[in-house]
Amino acid sequence: MYIVHSTFAVPEEKADEVISIYQNRSRLVDRAEGFVKFLLLQNDKRKGEITVHMEWKEKKHYLSWVQSEEFKKIHELEKKYPDQELAAIVPTIRKFEVVAE
């Protein structure tokens, strides 16, 4: 299994807005080959710290997703988000190979 975390910080007063965006996400990734799970995580001490957690069957599935037209479409929409402060946020990406369960 392959896990990807995309963590970013937003102003705490905008955290609920960001959470709402993800609650209403397009779900295009859900149909990608090898996709297992999506979770949106909020740090319980720093409410503005949000992490997108995605699980994939294999690394090759994730790599295929990030090269897909669907991935490009989703990220182009993010750039056009009306709140430019949120649109300009660059996440920290961490990738993990599951080595034991």
Domain segments of the chain as ranges: 2-97
Q: How far is CA 41 from the centre of its chain?
A: 10
Could you count the other beta carbons within 10 Å of the beta carbon of residue 87? 12
- Just give the CATH number of 2-97: 3.30.70.100
Q: What is the pLDDT of residue 80?
A: 65
CA 87 → CA 10, 16, 18, 33, 65, distances in Å? 10, 15, 11, 27, 21
* AA identity, residue 65: W
Q: What is the pLDDT of residue 26?
A: 86
Using one digit for the tens of pLDDT, what is the confidence trace for 13-29?
Answer: 999 999 998 998 889 89
Buried b (16+ CB within 10 A) or exposed e, 51-84: bbebbbeeeeebeebeeeeeeeeeeeeeeeeeee
Using one digit for the tens of pLDDT, what is the confidence trace for 43-92?
Answer: 999 999 999 999 999 999 999 999 999 998 887 766 667 777 877 788 99
